[in-house]
Structure 1
Amino acid sequence: MEVEFAVLGDVRVRLDGQDLDIGHARQRSVLAVLLAEAGHKVTAAQLEDRVWGERAPRQARNALYSYLFRLRTALRDVAGFDIAHRNGGYVLEVDVETVDLHLFRRLLGQAHEAAEGRRALALFDRALRLWRGAPFDELDSPWLAAMRDQLQKERYTAQVERHDVALNLGMHAELLAELTTATAANPFDERLAGQHLLALYRCGRRVEALTRYRTFRARLVAEIGVEPGDQLRRLHQRMLASQVPPPPAAQRAEQNQEPVPRQLPAASPWFVARTRELGLLDKARNDAAGVVLVTGTGGSGKTSLALHWAHREARRFPGGQLYVNLRGFDRVGKPLSPADVLHGFLEALGVPAEHVPAGPDARAALYRSLLARRRALVVLDNAYDADQVRPLLPGGADCLTVITSRERATDLITHEGAVPVRLTVLEEIEAVSLLVRRLGPDRVTAEPDAVARLLAHSARLPLALAVVAGRAVANPAFPLSALADELRDERARLDALDAEGTTSSVRAVFSWSYRTLSPEAARLFRLLSLHPGPDASRFAAAALAGIDMSRTRTLLNELIRTHLVDEHRPGRFRSHDLLRVYAAELAELEDTDEERRTALHRCLDFYLHTGFAAERHLAPHWPPIVLATAQDHVPHPPVNDYHQAMQWLTTEHDTLLAATAAAVRAGLDVHAWQLPWVHSTYLSRRGHLAHRAESQRTALAAADRLDDDFARATSRQLLGRAEILLGDQDQALKNLRHALDLYTRLGDTMGMAITHFSLSSAYDLRQCHTRALPHAHHALQLCREAGDHAWEAFTLTAIGWYHGKAGHHAQSLARCSEAKPLLDRIGDRDGRAHNLHCLARAHHNLGQYTEAAQGYRDSLALFQELGSPYLEATTLDHLGDVLQAAGDHPGACDAWTRALEILEPLAHPDTVEIESKLLDTSARR
C-alpha cells in the first residue's frame, strides 16, 4: 500500500495512486495543519486558531470534532495513519517520509551534506519536483498563509542553492534560460544576479555579462541606495580581467572528442501520465541504481514509458543514448543475440567494423570499457529473458540501463540489483486523458457514459485504448456510444479491437506471449478464465486444473513471468478483463464443454468444502448440513482456527458471492443453495446484511428447483434472519413461518427451535414483546428436548433481553445469569459476548454503572476478537450511554466516536442517532 500526503500545492491524499476524498476546504485545512505539525501535539484551541483565525464560528469546536472524526473515517485504510488524542491535544501519527513537506526538507538536508556534486544536484531536483503549486492552495486561514509564505521562501532558497551546485558541475548552458527568467522576477537578489553573470560569462557572453552587472548596480543604487556586496564586486573584477576560473567539475571536453550515439526512436505523442512509474524511474536515476526493469503484459505501454522517460532525461546522459529492440516477443523471427547487439553498439560508440572483436565475451568487455568513461543511457526494449540482456549491461557507475520485457526476469532484480517498475492498466484519469489527447476534450466530455463504457470494455489497457481512439479518429462522425456498443459483447470484443488485422491488434499482442507457454501452463491460463471471482488463490487454480499444489505453483510462476497472470497480492492471482476474455476465447476453442464444466465443478467444490470448514469455526453451534460430495483432485487448505477461518472468508468474500451466481448459471443447484449457507454467518458478523439476504434468495430459488424441503426450510430461515437485521420484519415473519411449517413437517427439532428463536427476534424488533417471549420459551423447551446446551444458553440470553426491553430488569439479570454457566462450559465466544452485553444493559438500567461499563467492555473485547464490526459498534454506543449516565462525558464521546468510525463505512442508519449524541455532548462541553 503506497500513500502520499501532499500539501505543496492543493492538499491531497493518494493511496495506491488514487486520490482519497478528504472533504471540503475547512476539513482539508484541519488535515493541512496536522500534516505540517506531524508527530507534534496541537491543542484544539491551536487547531481552531490555525484553521479559522479570528473568523472562527460560534460552534467551531463542535465542527472541529466532526472534521477530525470524518478525517479518521476517510483515512481509515491508510496503514500507520492515526489522529491520536493525547494530553489535551491531537497528534498526527504518520510516516513523515510520506508527507511531501517533510520529505522536501529532509532531501534538502541530504543535499547540503552530499559530498559529490551530482548526488547533491539529484537530491535538489527530487526535492523541487515535489512542488505542484502554492502550498495549501485554496486554503485561506492566516496561519496557513504565513506557512505558505515561509515554505515558498524555502523553495526559492533551494532553487538558488541548486544553481550553485549546477554551475560547479559546468551546467551553465543548461541553466542560462532559467537564470534569465529568475533574475527578471527577482531583480534585487545579488546571489541570483551573480549566478546569472557567471553563466553568461562561461557561455562566452562576457560583454553581455559585464553590461548586465552595470545595469544591476545602477538599479540597486537608484532604488535601494546601496552598492553591490563584496562577492558580486569580486566576480565583476574577475570578469573584467578575464580571470573567472572554469567550473570545478567540468570535464566535458574529452567526451566531446568521441562519437555520441543518439539512437532513441521517436516517443509516442499520445503518452499519458504514468506519474508513479515515472517517479520510480526518476528515483532509480537519482540513486544511481544502474538497471531498471520495466515489465507488464503485452499492450501495457512498456516501450512508450521507456522512450518517453528516455527522451525527457536525455540531456542528463551526455555520453549518449543507445537503443535496441531485442525482439524477445515478436510475432515472427527469433530474439536478437547479444553478440549481434554488441556489434551494433560498438560501431555506434566509434569502433570501426574491422576492429570489432569476433567473440561475444571480447565484444562485451570492450563495450563495458568504452561506457566506463561515459554517462550514458542504454534502452534494451522487448527483452526475452535475463540471459539475453546480461551481456549488454554497462559496467560504469554513471550509466543507466532501462530494460522492458513481458518476462518478469527476477534474476536481474536478485543478482544485478535491477529496480522493478511494473506496469498495470492505466488509472481511470490517465485513460480519460489519453482519449482527450487523441479525440479532443469536446468529443470526450460530450458522452461521459460512453467514455465510461469504453474504459471498462478496453480494461484501460493502453493498446486497446489506442485502437479505440484510432477508430474514433478515423470515423469522426461516429458517436462514441456506437464504438462502446461494439465492445459490449465479450465474445466479439477482441474482434472489435483487432485494429484492422494489423500486428498491433490486442489479440495478436496477447498471442505472442501465449505461444511461449508450455502446454500445461497454457491449459491453466485458459481454465483460469472460468474462475468466478476477481482473483484466485493457488488452491483455486489447482482445483480448476485438477493438479497438485506443487505443479500449480510452477505453472503459475510461468504465467506470471510472461505477465499473462499478475500476482497482485501475495498468493492472489488475476488477469485484466481483456486477458480473461482472450483466455475464455481460447478455452472455448481448445477445451471441450465437458472439460470446462468439470473444471468449474471442481472449483465450486473447493469453495463449498473450504467454506464449510471455515464456517464450523465461526458458528459451531449451528446444526451442520450435508454437503455435496467433492470431486477428485479438489484441494483442502488448512483452516484450523477462528482467525484462519475469518481471514479466508474475508479474502474470498467477493468470490463466494460470485461462485453462487456461477453455480446457478451452470445448473449446479446444490452448490447454489449450500454456498450461501457456508457464507451466511460471516456476512452477518461483518455487517454485509444486504448481501446475506440476496444470497439466501438465490439459495431459496435453487431449493425450489431441487424440490428439496430441507433446503427450502434452511434457506427461508436464514433469509428471515437476514431480513430481521435489515429491518423488514413483515417479510421476515412470512419467511420464518414458512420455514417453521417445513421443519415441523420434516420433524426437525433444532430447525423448529432456531426458527422459534428467530421469530422471537422479529417480534421483539416490532416492539411486540408479549409475542416474542412465547416463541423464545418454545425455543427453550425444544433446545432442552434436543439437549443442545449452546442454543439453550442463547435462548436464555434472548429471554433476558426481552424482559429488559419490557422494563423487567431484575428478571433480565436473572435469566442472563442463568445462561452464563452454560456458555462458560461450552466456550462459545459469540454467545458469551451477547450474554455479557445483555447483562451490562440490565446493570445499566438498574443504575449499576460500574458493573455495566465493565460488562460492555468485556463484551466489546469479544466482539472485536470475533471480527463483528456492527455488534462492536452497537456495544460502543451502549458503553457511551452508560458512561454519559455516570458523568464521564469525555469517555462517552470517545466511545461514540469509535462507534461512528465503524458504522459509517457500513452506511448504517444508527449513525444519525449516535452523531446526534456526540454533537449534543460536545456542545455541553
Structure 2
Amino acid sequence: MGVEFALLGDVRVQVDGRDLDIGHARQRCVLAVLLIEAGRTVTTDQLVDRVWGERAPVRARHAFYSYISRLRTALRDVAGFDIARRGGAYVLHVDAGTVDLHLFRSLLGQAREATEERRALALYDRALRLWRGVPFEELDSPWLASVRDRLLAERFTAEVQRYDVALDLGMHDELLAELATATAANPFDERIAGQHVLALYRCGRRTEALTQYREFRARLVDDTGVEPGDQLQRLHQQMLASDVPRIPSARREDEAPGPVPRQLPAASPWFVSRTRELDLLDDARDAAAGVVVVTGAGGSGKTSLALHWGHREAGTFPDGQLYVDLRGFDRVGRPLRPADALQGLLETLGVPPEQIPTDVDARAALYRSLLARRRVLVVLDNAYDAEQVRPLLPGDVNCLAVVTSRDRLSCLVAREGAVPVLLTVLDESEAVSLLARRVGPDRVAAEPDAVAQLVAHSARLPLALAVIAGRAVGNPTFPLSALAGELRDERARLDVLESDGTTSGVRAVLSSSYRTLSPDAARLFRLLGLHPGPDADLFAAASLAGVEASRGRALLGELARTHLVDEHRPGRFRSHDLLRAYAAELAESEDSAHDRRTALLRCLDFYLHTGFAAERHLAPHWPPITLTAAQEHVAQLPVTDYDRAVEWFTAEHDTLLAATAEAARARLDVHAWQLPWVLSTYLSRRGHWAYRAETQRTALAAADRLDNDVARATSHHLLGRAEILLGNQDEALEHLRRALDLSARVHDTTGMAVAHFSLSSAYDLRQRNTTALVHARKALRLCREAGNRVWEAFILTAIGWYHGKADQHAEALAHCAEAKLLLDRIGDRDGRAHNLHCLGRAHHGLGQYTEAARCYRDALALFRELGSPYLEAKSLDHLGDALQAAGDQPGACRAWTRALEVLEPLAHPDAAEIESKLLDTGVSR
C-alpha cells in the first residue's frame, strides 16, 4: 500500500493515489499538528493549544480525544501509522518518507551535501515539486500559521540555492524567465537580483544585465538608503570589464544542430490529474533513469499520460522528441517489427535510406550513436513485449525513453533498470473532472447524482469516460440521467460504451488484450467473470479453473502482465467492473452452461470447505454441520491455527457475503445455507450482527426450499442469536423456540441444549432472570446427558452470570469456579474469556475489587486475542467500574476511554452509557 501524507498545500492523505477521507477541517488540523511533530512526544495541552490557540472551546480536550479516535479509525489500515498515547501525551509513529514536509527537508539536506552538481539539482527539483500550494491555508490555527511562514521561508531559501546550482551547470537560458519572475516578487532581495543579472550576462545580454543591476541599485538606495553588498558590486565591476567567468550553456551551443524532430502527436486537451504518475516521470528524468515503463489496462490513459508529460517537458529535451506507435495490441495487424521501427527513427534523424544498414543490430548501434550526447525524449507507444522495445532504447543517459504497454515489461525493469509507472483507473474526483472538462462544468454540476452513476458505471476507466462524454456532447439537450439509465443494465453496458468506430470502443480495446492470451489463461479470465466477490486469491481462481494452484499462479501471472487482472494486494487479484462484465460476456458466449455452473460450484466449494476449516479454529465448541462433498479439482488451502483463520475471514469477508448471495441466486441451496453457518462466528466476533442476521435469513430460505429440518433448526438458531445481538428480542425468541422444536424433532440432543442456552440469553436480556435460569439448567442437563464437557462449562458460566445478576454472588462464584476447572482442562479460549468476565463480576459483587479488576484484565486480553471488539469493550467497561469502586478514578477513566475507542467503529449504543460515566466523573475523556 502506497501512502502519502501531504502538508505542503491542503492537508490530505493519499493511499495508492486516492484521497482518504480524514474528516473535517478541525480533525485535519489535529492530523497536521501530529504529522509536523512526528516522532516527538507532545502533551495533550500542547496539542490542544496548537489546534485551537486561545479560542479553544470549553470541551476542547473532549473533542480532541474524539478526533484522535476517528483518525485512528480512518488510518487503521495504513501500515506503520500509529498514534500512541504516553500518559498525558501523544506521539505519532510514521515513516517520515511518507510525509511530504519531512521528505522535503530530507531532500534539501541531501542536496546541500551532494558533491555532484547534477545530483544536487535533481534533489532540489524533487524537493520543490512536493509543494502543491500554500500549507494549511484552509485551516484556522495560529500555530499552523506560524509554521506556514517558516515553511514558506524554507521553500524560498531552497529555490534560491537551486538557482545557484543551476547557474553553475550553465542553465542560464532555462532560468531567465524564472529569475525575472522571482526578481519581480522579491524586489529587494540582493541574492536573486545577482542571479538574474548573472544569467542575463551569460546569455550574452550584457546591456540588459547592466540595466537590471542599475535598476536594482536605484530601488535599494531610494527605499532603504543602503548600497548593494560587496558581492553584487563586484559582479557589476566584472561585467563592466567583461571579466565574468563564462560557463557554456547546458544546451551545448558548440555542437552542430542537426535535425531536431518534434514527433509527438497532439496531447489530449481533456487530460486530468495523474499527479503521482507525473511525479514519477519527473523523478525518472531527474535521476537520469534512461527508461520509464508506463503500464496499465487497455483504456487507462497510458498514451495520454506519456504525451501530456512529453509536451510539458519538451524544453527539457532540446534535441528533439521521437515517437513510434509499436502497435503491440492493435485489433488488426501485427506488432511493428523492431527493424521497421528503427528504419523510421533513423530516417527521422537524417540518415538517408540508402545508408541505413539491413541488420537490426547494426541499425540499433547507428541509432544509439546518433543519440549520443543529445537530450532526446523517445516515446515508444503500445509496446507488445520487451524484445520489441529493447533495440529501440537510447544508450545515452541524457536521453529518456518512455514506453507504454499493457504488458508489465518486468524484464525491462529487472535488466535495464526501467522505472515502472503503473496506471490504474481514475479516482472519483478525477473522473468527475474529466467529465466536467469534456461535457462542461455547468452541465455536470446540474446533475450530481447522474454524474455519480456515470462515474460508477464507467469503472472510472478513462476510455469509458471519454465514450460517455462523447455521447453527452453529441446529444447536448439530453439529460445526463438518461445516459446513466442506459448504462444501468450491466449486460448492455458494453454495448452502450461502444464508440462510433469499431476499434475504439471499450469492448474492442479489451478484446485486443484478450486475444493475446494463451487458451488456458483466456479460459481463466472468462471464468473469473463468474467469481462472486470483489477479488479472488490464487486458490479460489485455481478452483474456478479446476487446475492445480501452481498452474493457477502461472495463468494469473499471464493475466496480470497484460493488466486483465490486477494483483492489488499480495496474492489477491481483481478486475474493474467493465473487465468483469466483458469476462462474463465471453464466458456466456464461449463456455457451456454446464461448464459455467460446474466452475461456480468448484468456487463455492472452495469457500465452503476452507471456511469450515477456519471456523473450527474460531469456535471448536460450536456443534458442527455435515458439509456437502466438494467437487473434483477444488484447491486446498490449509488453515492451520486461530490467527490464520482470522486472517482468512478478514480477507474473504466481502467475498463470502457475495458467495452466499450468489449461491441463493443460482439456487445452489446447500451452499446457500452452509456458507452462512461458516461465516456466523466471525461476523459475531467482529460485531457485524446485521450481516449475520441477513445471511441467516438467506440460509433459512434455502433450508425451506430443501425441506431440511436439520438445516432449518441450525438457521433458526443462528438467526435467533443474531437477533439477540441486534436487540430484537421478540424475533429472537420466536426463532430460538422454533430451533428447539426442530432439534427435538430430529433427536439432536446437543442442538436442544444449545438452543436452551441461547433462550436463556434472550430471556436474560428481557430481565426475566428466573426463566433464563430454567433454560440454562435444562441446557446443563442435556449437555451432561450428551457428555459435552465444553458446553457444560459454557452453561455453568452462564448460570453463574444469572446468579450474579440476582445479587447471589457467592453462588455465581461457585458455578464459575466449577466451569473454570473444566475449561482449564479443555483449553477453550472463548469459554475461558467469558468465564473470566463472569468471575470478575462475581468478585465485584462480593466487594473484592482488586480480584475483579484482575479477572476483567485477563478477559479483555483474551477477547482481544480472539478479535472480539464488542466483548473487549464490555470487559473494559466493567474494569472501569471495578477500578472506580476501588478508588482508582484515573484508572477507571482510562478504561472507559479505551472502551469508547473500541466501540466507536461499531456504532454501538452502549457507547452512550460509557460516555455518561465519564461525564459524571467530571474528568474529560
| Same fold by TM-score greater than 0.5 | yes
Q: How big is each residue's C-alpha offset from its partner over 1:74-115, in whole Å with a ceiling of 9 and x where there is no partner?
A: 322222122222364222211111111111111111111222
What's the CA shift string for 1:173-212, capped at 9, x where partnerless?
A: 3222222222122111111111121222233332222222
* 2:61–2:924 CA contact under 8 A, matched in 1: no
Name the stretch that deviates more: 731-740 or 887-896. 887-896
Q: Which residue of 1 aligns with 2:621?
A: 621
Q: Does 1:200 align with 2:200?
A: yes
Q: Which amino acid aligns with 1:789?
A: R
Q: CA deviation at 1:924?
A: 6.7
SS in 1 for 2:923: helix
Name the CA distance, whole Å, in 2 between partners of 1:377 and 1:710. 71
Distance 2:685 2:370 in 1: 66
* Equivalent residue, structure 2, for 1:405: 405
Conserved? CA contact 2:62–2:924, under 8 Å: no
Q: 1:569 to 1:63 in 2, by over 3 A?
A: closer
**Partner of residue 392, structure 1:** 392
What's the offset of the Cα at 1:486? 1.1
1:650 aligns with: 650
Q: Is the 8 A contact 1:843 1:849 kept in 2?
A: yes
What amino acid is aligned across from residue 435 of structure 1 in structure 2?
A: L
Is the CA contact 1:809–1:846 (under 8 Å) kept in the aligned structure 2? Answer: yes
Displacement of 1:922: 6.1
Aligned to 2:146: 146
Q: Alpha-carbon deviations, 1:441-489, whole Å to 9, x = none?
A: 1101111111111111111111111000001101101111111111111
1:865 aligns with 865
Separation in structure 1 between the aligned mates of residue 435 and residue 49 of structure 2, nearest angstrom = 45
Give the AA of the match of 1:246: R
Aligned equivalents of 1:71, 1:624: Cα separation in 2: 40
Letter in 2 for 1:571: G
Q: Does 1:878 align with 2:878?
A: yes
Q: Per-residue displacement from partner, 1:530-562 (whole Å, max 9, x unpaired)?
A: 111111122112221222222222222221122
Q: Which amino acid aligns with 2:614?
A: A
1:548 to 1:56, Cα distance in 2 relative to 1, 3 A: closer
Instruction: State the identity as a percent.
Output: 77
Measured in 2, the distance between the counterparts of 1:285 and 1:844 equals 69
Query: Cα deviation per residue 1:194-253 (whole Å; 9 max; x = unaligned)?
Result: 112122223333222222222221221121111111111111112222232223664612
Q: What corresponds to 1:311 in structure 2?
A: 311
Using a 3 Å threshold, how does the CA distance of structure 1 residues 870 and 386 change in structure 2: closer, same or farther? Answer: same
- Does the 8 Å CA contact 2:251/2:318 hold for their aligned counterparts? no
1:168, CA displacement in angstroms? Answer: 2.1
1:356-395 correspondence runs (5 A) = 356-395=356-395
> Mean alpha-carbon deviation: is it higher for 802-811 or for 692-701?
802-811
The amino acid that maps onto 2:494 is L
* Residue range with higher mean Cα deviation, 286-295 or 435-444: 286-295
1:542 partnered with 2:542: yes
- Given that 2:171 and 2:249 are in contact with CA atoms closer than 8 Å, whether structure 1 keeps it comes out as no
Shift of 1:573: 1.4
| Ranges in structure 1 where 5+ consecutive residues have no aligned partner | none
- Partner in structure 2 of residue 355 of structure 1: 355
Q: Is the 8 A contact 2:803 2:812 kept in 1?
A: yes
Amino acid of the structure 1 residue aligned with 2:185: A
Residues 736-745 or 54-63, more deviating = 54-63
Q: Distance in 2 between matches of 1:481 and 1:836?
A: 58
Matched residue SS, 1:294: strand
Distance 1:834 1:438 in 2: 61
Cα contact 2:297–2:424 (8 A) shared by 1? yes
Q: Is the contact made by 1:710 and 1:743 (CA closer than 8 Å) also made in structure 2?
A: yes
Q: Deviations over 1:286-334 (max 9, x none)?
A: 2222221111111111111111111112221223222111111111111
1:809 corresponding residue in structure 2: 809
Alignment of 1:29-178 (within 5 A): 29-86=29-86, 88-178=88-178
Q: Which residue is equivalent to 1:220?
A: 220
Greater than 6 Å deviation, 4+ residue runs: none
Distance across 2 between alignment mates of 1:31 and 1:506: 41
**How much does 1:577 deviate?**
0.7
Amino acid at match of 2:915: E
Give the corresponding residue for 2:438. Answer: 438
Farther-moved stretch of structure 1 (465-474 vs 343-352): 343-352
Alpha-carbon distance in 2 for matches of 1:434, 1:691 = 37
Q: Residue 24 of structure 2 corresponds to which residue in structure 1?
A: 24
CA contact (8 A) 1:83 1:93 kept: yes
CA contact (8 A) 1:69 1:897 kept: no
Q: For 1:122 and 1:888, locate their aligned partners in 2 and report how far apart those are by CA, in whole Å.
A: 58
Deviation at 1:347, TM superposition (A): 2.6
Structure 2 distance, partners of 1:55, 1:805, is 47
What does residue 749 of structure 1 align with? 749
Figure out how many residues of one structure are paired with residues of the other and give that number.
925
SS of residue matched to 1:187:
coil
Q: Evaluate the alpha carbon distance shift between residue 662 and residue 24 of structure 1 in structure 2; reply closer, same or farther with a 3 A threshold.
A: closer
Shift in alpha-carbon separation, 1:703–1:617, aligned structure 2, 3 A: same
Change (3 A) 1:71 1:655: closer
Answer yes or no: is 1:660 the counterpart of 2:697: no
Look up the equivalent residue of 1:80 and give its one-letter code.
G
Deviation (angstroms), 1:921: 4.3
Aligned letter for 1:325? D
SS in 2 for 1:401: strand
What is the DSSP-based 3-state SS (H/G/I as helix, E as strand, rest coil) of the residue aligned with 1:923? coil
Tell me the secondary structure at the aligned position of residue 627 of structure 2.
coil
SS in 2 for 1:29: helix
**Residue deviations 1:764-790 (CA, integer Å, cap 9, x gap):** 111111111100011001000110000
Structure 1 residues 595 and 62: alpha-carbon distance in aligned structure 2, compared to 1, 3 A threshold: closer
Which piece of structure 1 moves more, 712-721 or 197-206? 197-206
8 Å CA contact retained: 1:168, 1:249 = no
Change (3 A) 1:58 1:529: closer
Taking a change above 3 Å as real, the CA distance of residues 537 and 66 of structure 1, as seen in their structure-2 partners, is closer
Contact 1:21 1:74 (C-alpha < 8 Å) held by counterparts: yes
CA distance in 2, matches of 1:741, 1:205: 100
Paired amino acid for 1:877: D
Aligned to 1:759: 759
The 3 A distance-change label for structure 1 pair 32 and 573 is: closer
- SS of the residue aligned with 2:403? strand
- 2:291 alignment partner in structure 1: 291
Matches of 2:491 and 2:29, distance apart in 1: 50
With over 3 angstroms needed to count, the CA separation of the structure-2 counterparts of 1:516 and 1:140, relative to structure 1, is closer
1:62–1:923 CA contact under 8 A, matched in 2: no
Greater shift, 613-622 or 226-235, is seen at 613-622
Query: In 1, are the aligned partners of 2:918 and 2:924 still within 8 Å (CA)?
Result: no
Point out the more displaced range, 747-756 or 310-319: 310-319
Using a 3 Å threshold, how does the CA distance of structure 1 residues 294 and 877 change in structure 2: closer, same or farther? same
SS at match of 2:292: strand
Q: Output the CA distance in 2 between the equivalents of 1:924 and 1:14.
A: 32
Q: Please state how far the C-alpha of 1:635 moved relative to its aligned partner.
A: 1.8
**Stretch moving more, 649-658 or 22-31:** 22-31
CA displacement at 1:338 relative to structure 2: 1.2
For residues 411-422 of structure 1, the aligned pairs below 5 Å read 411-422=411-422
TM-score by length of 2: 0.97
Report the counterpart of residue 895 of structure 1 in structure 2.
Answer: 895
Report if aligned partners of 1:62, 1:922 keep a CA contact under 8 Å in 2. no
